[in-house]
Copies of this chain bind each other. A is one copy, B any other.
Amino acid sequence: MALIVQKYGGTSVGDIDRIKNVARRVLTTKNQGHEVVVVVSAMAGETDRLIRLSQQVTRSPDERELDVIVATGEQVSTGLLALTLKSMGCDAKSYQAFQIRIATDSAFGKARITGIESERVRNDLKNGRVVVVAGFQGVDVQDNITTLGRGGSDTTAVAIAAALKADVCEIYTDVDGVYTTDPNICDKARKLSRISYEEMLEMASLGAKVLQIRSVEFAKKYDVPIHVRSSFNDHPGTIVCKEEKEMEKVVVSGVAYNKNEAKIEVMHIPDVPGVVANLFKPIADANIVVDMIIQTSSTDKGFADVAFTVPKSDFPKILQIVKEKLKEIGGKDIKADENIAKVSIVGVGMRSHSSVAAQMFSALAQEGINIHMISTSEIKISCIIDAKYTELAVRALHDAFQLDRPEVSEEKQ
């Protein structure tokens, strides 16, 4: 008998028929002798409907009240699933964040979970009940309703799994699992049977949208195995777990890409302490996250060029800030480019393989793709290239690292 947390997204609970399907799947798990906690998102489209309603009042609705409004989507889903289960003869009970105290900070719209009181859930499980929990919601210390940001239900599920020390957290979604790259642009993309938390974090932050980044961080911190799988079939999906010895044999696990960044270069600024800090302070003050930052010596001695990438949505705002700062910091010129993309290879095996970077650069060069910027971490290498080459680059890297080959661990099974 295992304790299993299952999370179903908006598409999986999109209408009453689909909710009945979810209930049947939950029942099957229960009837296999397991204890089951289910975390649900709002029915597909519901969160958007509620946001639209709020925006009919004002384009920038108060954040506390917006959370009050959108949190109702998950509440309805919990009630509907619980009464569906009860109508099928399975004892069930729904809980909102305030009832099992999914405590968060007070950052409305992007709150972080700080703790969960799992007492009530434990009691219900002991009494043979299925527990249905509202994803996405929390309450802060003043009992204000908060929400965790898009994809937050994943984090709720992992946090509950951590609090209950569950055996596994199953994330049901509309894809089969985590792929070596986006199957929409590379038909050789292959489903991974296992991937480490670290790799998944890199994949997620690089643009693979299967899991909310925070949910993976949480899973890593509390060592909760995540099983990403489809709610429309019974195929095994991808297990996201602690790094295992086997994994290191695979040098590159996946190829990710991100087209939502833009590049800004500030040319010929004095290479003295404090100048770069002076440039980035107003950007940080505007709450904008800068991704890559690369500083190079200018051709002129005593001067430097600084290039960095930012989310496209913040691009106009940042360009304005940088233009205003240019004189003050003594820079000469600004170059901006929105037509860029970031392609990345990720793999824990990189740590022990030195030639990976060279292999990546030559694979891109062979296709005539020029690299504008490079950034590396222990387990990933990212290159900024012209956006038009994105798909070509992804396929070239997928081939170069032979990602279509079955995994070692899979061969063994």
Chain A residues in contact with chain B, CB under 8 A? 16, 19-20, 50, 53-54, 56-58, 61-62, 64-66, 68-69, 71-72, 75-76, 78-80, 82-84, 86-87, 93-94, 96, 98-99, 143-145
Asked whether A76 and B80 contact (CB < 8 A) given A53-B16, A61-B87, the answer is no
In contact, B20 and A57 (Cβ under 8 angstroms): yes
Further contacts, 7 of them, CB under 8 A, given A62-B82, A62-B86, A75-B75: A58-B83, A64-B94, A65-B79, A65-B82, A68-B96, A72-B75, A98-B143
In contact, A57 and B69 (Cβ under 8 angstroms): no
CB distance from A26 to the nearest CB of B (A): 14
In contact, A54 and B68 (Cβ under 8 angstroms): no
Going nearest first, the 3 A-B pairs with the smallest beta carbon separation are A69-B79, A68-B79, A72-B72
- Give the oligomeric copy count: 2
Q: A87: which B residues are within 8 A, CB to CB?
A: 57-58, 61-62
In contact, B94 and A68 (Cβ under 8 angstroms): yes
Q: How distant is the Cα of A76 from the Cα of B75 in the complex, in angstroms?
A: 11
Q: A53: which B residues are within 8 A, CB to CB?
A: 16, 76, 80
Closest to A87 in B: B58
Q: How distant is the Cα of A79 from the Cα of B65 in the complex, in angstroms?
A: 5
In contact, A66 and B54 (Cβ under 8 angstroms): no
**Complex partner residue of A16 from B57, B65, B72, B144, CB under 8 angstroms:** B57
In contact, A76 and B72 (Cβ under 8 angstroms): yes
Q: How distant is the Cα of A53 from the Cα of B76 in the complex, in angstroms?
A: 10
Asked whether A83 and B96 contact (CB < 8 A) given A72-B75, A75-B72, the answer is no
Asked whether A75 and B68 contact (CB < 8 A) given A57-B20, A98-B98, A145-B96, the answer is yes
Q: How distant is the Cα of A57 from the Cα of B18 in the complex, in angstroms?
A: 11
In contact, A54 and B69 (Cβ under 8 angstroms): no
A-B pairs with beta carbons under 8 Å apart, 10 shown = A19-B57, A50-B76, A57-B84, A65-B80, A65-B86, A66-B79, A68-B82, A68-B94, A75-B75, A98-B99
Q: How distant is the Cα of A332 from the Cα of B377 in the complex, in angstroms?
A: 94
Q: A79: which B residues are within 8 A, CB to CB?
A: 54, 65-66, 68-69
Q: How distant is the Cα of A57 from the Cα of B84 in the complex, in angstroms?
A: 6
In contact, A66 and B83 (Cβ under 8 angstroms): yes
In contact, A65 and B94 (Cβ under 8 angstroms): yes
Q: A16: which B residues are within 8 A, CB to CB?
A: 53, 56-57
CB distance from A74 to the nearest CB of B (A): 10
Q: How distant is the Cα of A53 from the Cα of B78 in the complex, in angstroms?
A: 13
In contact, B98 and A83 (Cβ under 8 angstroms): no
CB distance from A10 to the nearest CB of B (A): 15
CB distance from A230 to the nearest CB of B (A): 24
In contact, A57 and B76 (Cβ under 8 angstroms): no
CB distance from A154 to the nearest CB of B (A): 22
CB distance from A103 to the nearest CB of B (A): 14
CB distance from A73 to the nearest CB of B (A): 8
